Structure formats: structure tokens, C-alpha cells
Amino acid sequence: MNSIEANIRDNSTKGQLNSIRDSGNVPAIIYGGKNENQKISVSKKLLKVLIDKENFLSNIISLKVDGKSQNVLPREVKYHILSDEPTHVDFLRVLPGVKIKIEVPVNFINHEKSPGLKRGGVLNIVRRKVELNCPSEKIPENLTIDLNGVDIGESFKISSVKLDSEVTPTIQGRDFVIATLAAPTVIKEPEKPAEAEGPEGEEGAEAAAAEGDKPIADATKGEKKEGDDKKTDEKKSAEKKPSDDKK
């Protein structure tokens, strides 16, 4: 269990709150149970270390206030809109026997021992967290799902997770799915034609076109020759006529 020092704060204005933040601390409040709400402040540096750890909002913390320790559960963290630095924290007192609603993360283990994953299967996670009703002293750190021996097509439902008898999901009446191991969805691209085929095909087409053009050219040439011959005959006839007249 993580532990952090806290100081009692007595402020009534926004300026005093800003002064607490400027001094490297974060205003916070402890609430819940029969005791009155307690205003405190905690070191921002130490708080950020805890926030950076996994599952900060589902792990019980021991707060030391004026030398006395009390277990609390972080319920909400407010952040600055620009700097993203924590500006306020709400802590709930953890009292034995009192049930609370909390989201607990799901943890998957033994990925390397799953034959389905080895064959290219895909783990589709439907719920990364599951909301539970449980006594504050029995909050599980996470819900563990073992992938050992799991093959493609299998699914994990809430009924397959071992829970304490006093811990229940907030969703009742149905055995909801947490994750499934699905078949791979790889789309094969069509085979690319050989690079040589394109140019060769183009060259062949050009060659065919060139060959096809030749007869047309020859035909035109022939027509031209025939026309020239006709003109020559007409010229000869014209030349003969004057001599015929003379006769």
C-alpha cells in the first residue's frame, strides 16, 4: 500500500488556494463515513508519482495526517486545463464493511502461451475496466484473465473471472463479454505484374502499330504512282493531237 504525508489546511479564499498550489502542494479533501470532511494538502511531486503509477483511482492509499494514518481511496483528480498539472484531489475514507462502486482494470497474462495468438489471432478487448460493488477492504487490484492454452474463437465473460463472494459486478442479469480471441484479418494484396511485362508489352504494341502502318503507306504510294501514270498517258495523248490535225 502506498503512503503519503498530508497537512491540514485552513483556507477560505481562492487566493489562499492558489498560494497553496504556488508552494508546490495540491489542495485535497477527505470525505465519507460519520466524520466531517477534512481539508488537507499534499505534495504535488509525491502525488504525481502516485498518479503516474497504474490504477491510481482503484488503489487504497495510506494518508498520514498529523501523525495519524487513515486509509483512503482516490476518487477524483482535477487538472489544470493548460498545464495538465493536478489542482485538486478527492479522497474517500475506507471504512470496514462499507461497500463502494469502483472500476477495476482487467489484466491479461501468458500471452506467449496462447496457441491462438501464436497463429496470428487478435485479442479484442471489449472492456479494459469492469465496474464492481465491493467492500472497501476487499477491492481487487485488477481482474486477471489467463491466456494460457486459449485458441482462436474463444471468449472471456465475467463469469470466467474469480471474484470474492462479496464482490459483484454492477451489471447484473447478463454474462457480459470482456474480451475475445478472433481470427486474423489480413487482406492479401493482388500480385504485382513483372516489371518487364509492361515495357515489353508497350514495345510490342508499338512494333505492331509500326508494322500495321507499312501496308497503308505502301497502298498510298501505289495510288500515287497509278495517278502519275494516268497523268503521263493523258499528256502523251495531248501531245499527239496537234500532229493528227496537221495530217
Q: How far apart are CA 133 and CA 167, in angstroms?
A: 6
β 177-182/129-135 pair status:
unpaired
Q: How far apart are CA 60 and CA 30, in angstroms?
A: 13
What is the pLDDT at residue 99?
85
What is the pLDDT at residue 192?
64
Q: How far apart are CA 96 and CA 62, in angstroms?
A: 15
What is the pLDDT at residue 190?
58
Per domain, the residue ranges of the chain are 1-94, 96-188
H-helix or E-strand spanning residue 142 = none
β 68-79/86-93 pair status:
antiparallel
Q: What is the DSSP letter of 217?
A: H
Residues 81-93 as b or e (16 or more Cβ within 10 Å = b): eeeeebbebbbbb
What is the pLDDT at residue 243?
44
What is the pLDDT at residue 86?
94
Q: Which residues of the chain have pLDDT under 50?
A: 187, 200-201, 204-205, 207-210, 213-227, 230-232, 234-247
What is the pLDDT at residue 54?
72
Q: How far apart are CA 204 and CA 215, in angstroms?
A: 18
**Residues 6+ away with beta carbon under 8 Å from 104:** 55, 58, 129, 130, 131, 132, 139, 140, 141, 142, 143
Alpha carbon 36 to its chain's center:
43
What is the pLDDT at residue 247?
39
User: Quick check: 55 and 44 in contact, CB under 8 A?
Assistant: no
Q: How far apart are CA 228 and CA 205, in angstroms?
A: 35
**Superfamily (CATH H level) for 96-188:** Ribosomal protein L25, C-terminal domain (2.170.120.20)
What is the pLDDT at residue 55?
80
Domain 1-94 falls in which CATH fold? Ribosomal Protein L25; Chain P (2.40.240)
What is the pLDDT at residue 115?
93
